Amino acid sequence: MKQKLLIGVDIGGTTIKMAFINMNGQIREQWYIPTDTSEKGKQISNDIANSIRDHSLQLNIPYDTFAGIGMGAPGFINMKTGFIYNAVNLGWENYPLKDDLELKSGLPVYIDNDANIAALGEMWKGSGNRSDDLICVTLGTGVGGGIISNGMILHGANGMAGEIGHMTAVPQGGAPCNCGKTGCVETIASATGIVRIATEGLSKYPESLLNQTYDINRSLTSKDVFECASKEDQWAVDVVQFVSLHLGLTIANLANALNPSKIVIGGGVSKAGERLLEPLQEVFNQFALPRVRDKAELVIASLGNDAGIIGAAWLVKENIS
Ligand SMILES: [Zn+2]
């Protein structure tokens, strides 16, 4: 039998990443198309279907080679029906994405949220190393999470499982979060949160390297914070410790409940590598039960932006086999 191909699609607010991926999880071809959010995003599924046809023609791949489309989308989704309740960035509201894209592409479509497909990608081909029990935390402009337990991604009663970014880290007087609450982990451990904390304290540390960096660039990035910390700048070290304390505590609490073998840290902030992992591991060791700690390996994600398309392709593979 001819090798089938999987199609992975990862929808973001400005671009849609797409790929043809083989059954072993190797990317054969990948490309981007712009996300057309005009008219409540009604062109998006058309654009995806057309782009798949164009690329299959260009690459001379017969259309019946494709086993289906796996897709990660932001927002609140019913994973079984592929119905989007709300995806603010894309303009979708009460939109039957799965049905619509199946109609336009003629292929079966499987959908999950973007954080969950990133976790599945890392589990299948990345640092997760096929672990059946895995927690994935993505530290970007927000904090995303995906939990795999017994080999299954957790969805919970109405699709909200894995919202690690909105676990409360500061019960009183925390910073406001995009979700409407205050003191969420996202307000501390996202790139945005790290920059906010670092910037707020600058006036107290006028001599700090971080303040000098701010004076030159008139802004800070989370990368600046980790770089200054590695040069032993006290304020930067304090910020990294504060972030590690709250994120490490959250992860340890989760691990005590879920007993994972891998905890994968991804997203832009994770590019700090050991500078983040080392203080995080220290806090984790303090709050995780010894047997939980001994089994759980804390690692940096390895697939970068490819995690989403690979995890999306895995959705198809799981559903057809
Ligand atoms: Zn929140």
Range of the domain at 162: 130-302
Give me ligand 1 centre to Cα 184, in Å: 5
Q: Residue 261 above 90 pLDDT?
A: yes
Q: Ligand 1: distance of its center to the CA of 84 in Å?
A: 20
Task: Give the Å distances, CA to CA, from 166 to 154, 162, 176, 190, 195.
Answer: 16, 9, 11, 11, 18
Q: Is 259 part of a structural domain of the chain?
A: yes
Same domain membership, residue 212 and residue 98 = no
Report residue 227 as tokens. 């770089």
State the average pLDDT over residues 283-293. Answer: 98
pLDDT band at 115 (very low <50, low <70, confident <90, very high): very high
CATH of residue 205's domain is: 3.30.420.40
The CA 264 to ligand 1 mean position distance, Å, reads: 21
Work out the pLDDT band at 275, boundaries 50, 70, 90: very high
Centre of ligand 1 from the C-alpha of residue 107, in Å: 36
pLDDT band at 304 (very low <50, low <70, confident <90, very high): very high
Q: Which pLDDT does position 255 carry in this prediction?
A: 98
Prediction pTM value: 0.94
> Is residue 211 a contact partner of residue 220, using CB atoms and an 8 Å limit?
no
What is the DSSP-derived secondary structure letter of residue 296? P
Task: Give me ligand 1 centre to Cα 183, in Å.
Answer: 7
For residues 91 and 27, state if they share a domain: yes
Q: 115 with 139, same domain?
A: no
Q: Is residue 184 part of a domain?
A: yes
Statement: residue 50 has pLDDT above 80: yes
Rounded CA-CA distance 37/40 in Å is 6
Q: Are residues 62 and 136 in the same domain?
A: no
Mean pLDDT score across all residues of the chain: 96
Is pLDDT of 151 > 90? yes
Q: To the nearest 10°, the Cα dihedral for 197, 200, 201, 202? A: 120
Q: Are residues 89 and 185 in the same domain?
A: no
In a domain, 86, yes or no: yes
